[in-house]
Amino acid sequence: MRNSLAAASLMAFGRFPNHLYAAPVKRYASDRVTLGNSGITVSRMAMGTGTNGFNKRSYQTDNLGIHGLADWLEAAYDEDVIFWDSADQYGTHPHLREALKRVPREKVVILTKTHARTEAQMKADLDRFRQELGTDYLDIVLLHNMQSSNWPEERRGAMDTLSQAKEDGIVRMHGVSCHRLGALKTAAKTDWVEIDLARINLKGAIMDGSLGEVVPVLKEMKENGKVVMGMKIIGAGQLSHMVDDCLQFALAQEYIDCFTIGTHDIDQFKDLVGRMPAASMRA
């Protein structure tokens, strides 16, 4: 708590307190992280395919195309970054399918997201997603963009279907992504949630609340045995003038198991992963 207060005080004056977040050893995008008791091991960083993702498109789909996005994922695989973050809303399943022609399916972890609310909708999505991706199973499926505090009551049919799909070996892990503080608080207390995708960064940019509001909830999640996966680490680009500080902050948070970042192309990806080791130890 003392470090958190000191950090907040220094950041109020525009200086990031690197010494408070310096890691004892270098941390890498390719570090392996095991997600709770799932048996799933991922790279610390995931390849976010949904920058400005909406209506079956994203920055990556618009600017890289199917083969370009597959090249980008293959380049990440060559750097030992093997975690792919997708969603139905981003329209990136065909792009991942193309990448799976180049890398072994069992060597990568695929996360995708659904807006399904009912049993019928979820069953249809699970069948369609596997067909679009060209795979028999989905590693991680999230209920996408939870905003209501009552989302478990509203999505019970979808949740029960995902639970059954996990028993049947179709899905390996399930959870939610949250976009409101109330939804996040509910996720922290909901046994069904195995992994939560949450907005977190050092400035509180486009988060579900202030750092003072969000961090205690994420710590509660972690204490309750859930996997915490960070997103908006660089504030959806708003904090691109302080990338190294953003990386150091995310890498230092013990309650964050892993995180996703949507880079624009191969060069930007390589620049980002190249920065990470030094950024993690800045003092």
**CATH for 148:** 3.20.20.100
Distance of alpha carbon 238 from alpha carbon 241, whole angstroms: 8
What is the per-residue DSSP string for the chain? Answer: -HHHHHHHHHHHTT---HHHH--SS---TT-EEE-TTS--EEESEEEE--TT-BTTB-HHHHHHHHHHHHHHHHHHHHTT--EEE--GGGT-HHHHHHHTTTS-GGGSEEEEEE---SHHHHHHHHHHHHHHHT-S-EEEEEEEEE--TTHHHHTHHHHHHHHHHHHTTSEEEEEEEE-SHHHHHHHHH-TT-SEEEEE--TT-TT-SS-HHHHHHHHHHHHHTT-EEEEE-TTGGGTTGGGHHHHHHHHHH-TT--EEEE--SSHHHHHHHHHHHHHHHT--
- 7 has a pLDDT exceeding 70: no
Task: Report the domain count for the chain.
Answer: 1
At residue 14, the pLDDT reads: 61
Q: Looking at the predicted structure, is the pLDDT value of residue 5 above 70?
A: no
Tell me: the pLDDT tens digits for 245-269? 999 999 999 999 999 999 999 999 9
CA–CA distances in Å: residue 104 to residues 101, 129, 275: 8, 18, 28
Range 7-36 average pLDDT: 81
Kindly give the interhelix angle for 59-78 and 266-280, rounded to the nearest 10 degrees.
60
Closest CA to 125 of 110, 142, 109: 142
Model confidence pLDDT, tens digit, residues 173-225: 999 999 999 999 999 999 999 999 999 999 999 999 999 999 999 999 999 99
pTM (predicted TM-score) = 0.94
Dump pLDDT digits (tens) for 109-157.
Answer: 999 999 999 999 999 999 999 999 999 999 999 999 999 999 999 999 9
pLDDT at residue 61 in the model = 93
- Please report the pLDDT score of residue 282 as a whole number: 86
Domain carrying residue 140: 2-280
Is 84 in contact with 108 (CB distance < 8 Å)?
A: yes
**What tokens were used for 24?**
């004892």
- With a CB cutoff of 8 Å and minimum separation 6, the contacts of 199 are 178, 179, 206, 207, 208, 214, 230, 231, 232
Structure tokens at 220: 């509660």
- pLDDT, one tens digit per residue, over 64-106 is 999 999 999 999 999 999 999 999 999 999 999 999 999 999 9
Percent share of the chain, pLDDT over 70:
95
